[in-house]
Amino acid sequence: MVYILLGAGFEEAEALVAADVLRRAEIPVSLAGIGGEYVTGSHGITVKADLPVGKASLAEGDMVLLPGGMGGVASIEGSGEAMALVRGAAENPGCWLAAICAAPTLLARAGLLPRGGRCVCYPGMEGELSQAGAVPAMDRAAVREGRLITGKGPGTAFDFALALVEALAGAEKAAQVRAGLHYGV
């Protein structure tokens, strides 16, 4: 299961493109809401969560995905339940963690980035990654470092989502989904 955390002010493109692409790859996805069943993103789009974040339960192979959007990142950071889920994914060697745009900076502040590991975030925020000991790879749309996948921002949402599919279901499945989307052709 991929749990996509939705807090008020989340970046809609990053959350919903990921959910769509993952579901096209037949990977189970749940939108986990912080603070209510309906969550409004940074551009005024309201999304109905599949479950409250407190009901998410990690199992082997699961992923926790943090979309960006400054408000959404603040919502995740301000929620004890959400941060417990994020830490649980980071500390479980059988789980995955993914963050895009401003969300990798939350991981930096929480001490959850791999020291010396490559990652990417929204341009201009990479100083927080460096301060946490990570190596910003700002020339990339998405970066996989072990069981952590990071993405640059809303314009790279498809690259990020396809990197998630490749990590969870393999390169062949990612290529099939890419072809079905007519992405990059």
pLDDT at 52: 98
Q: Which of 144, 107, 139 is nearest to 123 (CA)?
A: 139
Beta bridge partners of 47: 39
Q: What is the pTM of this model?
A: 0.97
Residues identified as active-site: 101
Q: Between vectors from CA 141 to CA 85 and to CA 81, what angle results, nearest 5°?
A: 10
| Dist CA 120 CA 88 (whole Å) | 22
| Dist CA 36 CA 114 (whole Å) | 32
CB 149 within 8 A of CB 142: yes
Going residue by residue through the chain, which has 185 residues, state the pLDDT in tens, using 9 for 90 and above: 999 999 999 999 999 999 999 999 999 999 999 999 999 999 999 999 999 999 999 999 999 999 999 999 999 999 999 999 999 999 999 999 999 999 999 999 999 999 999 999 999 999 999 999 999 999 999 999 999 999 999 999 999 999 999 999 999 999 999 999 999 87
| Dist CA 97 CA 70 (whole Å) | 19
Q: CB neighbours of 114 closer than 8 A, spacing ≥ 6?
A: 134, 145, 146, 148
pLDDT at 184: 83
Query: What's the distance, CA 29 to chain centroid?
Result: 12
